[in-house]
């Protein structure tokens, strides 16, 4: 995949090097393309995004899970995978469930990274195909918009996204780049310079799409998921076309899905090893709760972010 990455970058290099550039989080730089910032290399790179726009082919039965990094991607991948493939629970086979041995990122691939594979989409054996993406709505491959497939968006409080991204970036950053300080991270976040950011534009893009196509795009928040995950799982299953039957509910299958996808369970299963893309599995499980930002942001930082969010969401009903 590394060799493919270099090849794809080479293909789009002339278009990329002329774009505005800023300091990156897990990579050296971020480039501004179609109003959003994309990593200079590695996974989710700008070249991958350009490549997927050109070649990725969606199918009407596909399911797409869209998020900004650190907004609950791993969680929604696990939940969707478990809901759609829940026959695996039958006959008491919970102990052999794939999520108990594989990381959710190895079960549900990102469209931006699929392009790196010699045999794209080969990893998705199941129908419907489930993919994730960090790409903003307005930059998605056209076939996803056109084919009428379902999209689930998960949004998270910007302050928790900032803190989570800060920790994650320092875990996976190339050593040669040194660490990123929290002050630096805060400044970049406020300026909108995060992978697939600005935060507010990403959220607004999907929010607007949800209000225009409510049957096709489901908008969830990490915070609501943290409060009442069982109900969200039921609604999500219905939205995806896989509603739980009364018998399944009585048999406690909803609770089983919730449990197998819980932060505690996933963290326990993912203590060792790397995902296929080379990132340590444990890097995706840190605190797993709402409000950890209060341990990192000063009152002044919190106030500044509140002001920016209020201003940016003035016209939306999003309560971020
Ligand atoms: P924290 O760093 O605040 O702990 P993503 O999956 O989009 O990369 O986001 C990672 C964030 O989601 C991390 O947040 C991580 O701990 C949290 N997370 C991962 N799995 C989770 C789960 N099953 N339930 C709740 N939160 C989870």
Could you give the ipTM of this predicted complex?
Answer: 0.99
Q: What is the pLDDT of residue 117?
A: 64
Q: What is the pLDDT of residue 119?
A: 53
**Cα 8 to ligand 1 centroid, rounded to whole Å:** 30
**Which residue minimizes the CA distance to atom 19 of ligand 1?**
285
DSSP code for 212: H
For the CA of 164, the closest atom of ligand 1 is 2
**Cα 76 to ligand 1 centroid, rounded to whole Å:** 10
The preferred substitution site among 67, 69, 73, 75 for testing ligand 1, maximizing ligand atoms within 8 Å of CB, is 75
Mean pLDDT over residues 223-236, rounded? 98
pLDDT surpasses 50 at 318: no
The preferred substitution site among 70, 163, 182, 258 for testing ligand 1, maximizing ligand atoms within 8 Å of CB, is 70
User: pTM for this structure?
Assistant: 0.95
Q: What is the pLDDT of residue 3?
A: 72
pLDDT surpasses 90 at 100: no
pLDDT surpasses 60 at 207: yes
* Residue 122's pLDDT band (cuts 50, 70, 90): very low
**Cα 73 to ligand 1 centroid, rounded to whole Å:** 7
Q: What is the pLDDT of residue 127?
A: 75
* Residue 255's pLDDT band (cuts 50, 70, 90): very high
Q: What is the pLDDT of residue 320?
A: 42
* Residue 41's pLDDT band (cuts 50, 70, 90): confident
Q: Which residues are catalytic?
A: 134
pLDDT surpasses 60 at 226: yes
Q: Which of 51-60, 69-78, 80-89 has the highest mean pLDDT?
A: 69-78
Work out the angle at residue 43's Cα, subtended by the Cα atoms of residues 154 and 4, and round it to the nearest 5 degrees. 140
- Whether 195 lines ligand 1, by a CB cut-off of 6 Å, is no
Mean pLDDT over residues 32-50, rounded? 91
* Residue 319's pLDDT band (cuts 50, 70, 90): very low
């Amino acid at each position: 995949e590394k060799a493919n990455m270099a090849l794809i970058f080479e293909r789009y290099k002339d278009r990329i090097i002329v774009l505005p550039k800023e300091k990156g989080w897990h990579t050296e730089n971020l480039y501004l393309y179609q109003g959003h910032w994309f990593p200079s290399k590695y996974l989710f790179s700008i070249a991958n995004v350009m490549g997927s726009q050109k070649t990725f082919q969606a199918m009407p039965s596909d399911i797409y899970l869209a998020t900004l990094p650190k907004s609950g991607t791993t969680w929604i991948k696990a939940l969707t995978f478990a809901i759609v493939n829940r026959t695996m629970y039958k006959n008491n086979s919970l102990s052999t469930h794939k999520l108990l041995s594989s990381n959710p990122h190895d079960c549900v691939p990102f469209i931006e990274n699929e392009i790196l594979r010699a045999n794209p989409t080969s990893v998705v054996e199941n129908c419907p195909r489930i993919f994730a993406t960090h790409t903003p709505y307005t930059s998605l491959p056209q076939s996803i918009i056109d084919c009428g497939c379902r999209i689930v968006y998960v949004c998270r409080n910007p302050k928790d996204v900032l803190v989570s991204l800060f920790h994650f970036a320092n875990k996976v950053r190339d050593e040669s780049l040194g660490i990123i300080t929290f002050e630096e991270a805060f400044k970049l976040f406020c300026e909108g310079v995060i992978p697939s950011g600005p935060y507010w534009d990403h959220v607004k893009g999907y929010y607007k799409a949800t209000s225009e196509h409510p049957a096709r795009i489901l908008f969830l928040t990490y915070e609501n998921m943290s409060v009442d995950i069982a109900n969200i799982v039921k609604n999500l299953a219905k939205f995806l076309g896989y509603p739980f039957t009364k018998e399944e509910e009585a048999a406690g299958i909803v609770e089983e899905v919730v449990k197998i996808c819980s932060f505690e369970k996933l963290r326990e299963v993912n203590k060792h090893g790397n995902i296929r893309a080379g990132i340590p599995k444990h890097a995706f499980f840190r605190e797993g709760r709402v409000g950890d930002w209060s341990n990192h942001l000063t009152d002044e930082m919190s106030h500044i972010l509140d002001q920016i969010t209020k201003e940016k969401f003035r016209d939306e009903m999003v309560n971020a």
